[in-house]
Amino acid sequence: MSGRRRTEPVDALLVLADGTVFEGEAIGAPTPVATGEVVFNTVLSGYQEVITDPSYAGQIIAFTYPHIGNYGVNAHDAEAARPHCRGVVVRELTRRHSSWRAEEHLDAYLARHGVPGIAGVDTRRLTRHIREAGSMPAAFGTAPEAELKAAAAAEPGTEGIDLVATVTCDAPYTVPGGPKRVVAYDFGIKTTILRHLAGIATVEVVPASTPAAEVLERRPDGVFLSNGPGDPAAVAGAAGNIRDLLGEVPVFGICLGHQLLAEALGGETHKLPFGHHGGNHPVRRVDGGAVEITSQNHNYAVTEGTITGCEVTHVNLNDGVIEGLRCLDVPAFGVQYHPEAGPGPHDARYLFDEFAELMERHR
């Protein structure tokens, strides 16, 4: 077990595309220059689940909570086999973790997986800046400031780039489980989602580019559209495949899957100023008015008023963004947030039961 991180600090800088500079010290994998789109996440715990969420491909994660690494990392809490994020920014990386579940220090884990990071950053200032200026490309590392500024200016960010192609599985695989049969599109699927789906069905996970005809040949009771990274409009062929599935089989989408479902229905999506990333976002259920505290991780959202034949089922109470849709003429629904938590509250886990009920009604 790795108990302590390296004790000799190496100076590093974080430089945003607008030229704003933050000082710190290098952690994780030693890297002169790393680039990506910097976003902030407000979770108080669950940093390992966040770092290993494939939805962060192309992004640098800045944690607003000041102490990160307190309880180390372990194999069970990983949401993917490895992190897909471009880097990690923290205020303070704890020097020694303390948990009976810990198998490794976060610093050693990042280094082992080739993920660079920067600690000692004024993350409060960084968060305030992103809230005012929006998420933007950035570069960080041990290289000179001028080199980092040039790298930040050259980083394209996430818009218009098919990041799903970098995280989806290469071939189908099966997760044994309940009596029903579900085909899950892997746009960057999380392990915790698979655990919940396995509670109701045997799940066959397929690559993001799998044609609808091949999915229907498997005779599933339902199709699941997973979370994933980046711009939904850039995911090649996904909306068309989903369109061909609608009306043929019940469909449930989460996060990117929700956005792709909306696009399949003729809707549009747009990029949010700084996205929703955290474990405490209040969402109102339109039917009944109950409020759920939810886990969220997305930079894009469904544009209001662009879809017909659907009803809005959930709304974000912070900014009014559409958080849920249900089709009126076909068995399909989606939510923008993460009902599986991982990390986060469990208020919305009932949605997996609703998916099971929808499949049962349309067998």
Just list the catalytic residues: 255, 338, 340
Q: What is the dihedral of CA 47, 52, 54, 60, to 10 degrees?
A: 60
**Measured distance CA(269)–CA(6) in Å, rounded:** 44
Residues 73/52, Cβ–Cβ less than 8 Å: no
**Among 229, 184, 204, which Cα is nearest to 56's?**
229
End-to-end CA gap in the chain: 50
**Measured distance CA(117)–CA(29) in Å, rounded:** 7
- φ, ψ at 47 (rounded to 5°): -60, -35
- Output DSSP code: residue 52: T
- Tokens representing residue 238 in the block: 């996904």
**Measured distance CA(74)–CA(15) in Å, rounded:** 31
**Measured distance CA(116)–CA(323) in Å, rounded:** 33
- Tokens representing residue 273 in the block: 């100023």
What DSSP assignment string belongs to 138-182?
EEEESS-HHHHHHHHHH---STT---GGGTS-SS-EEE--SSEEE
Residues 6+ apart with CB under 8 A from 222: 180, 181, 182, 183, 201, 249, 250, 251, 252, 355, 358, 359
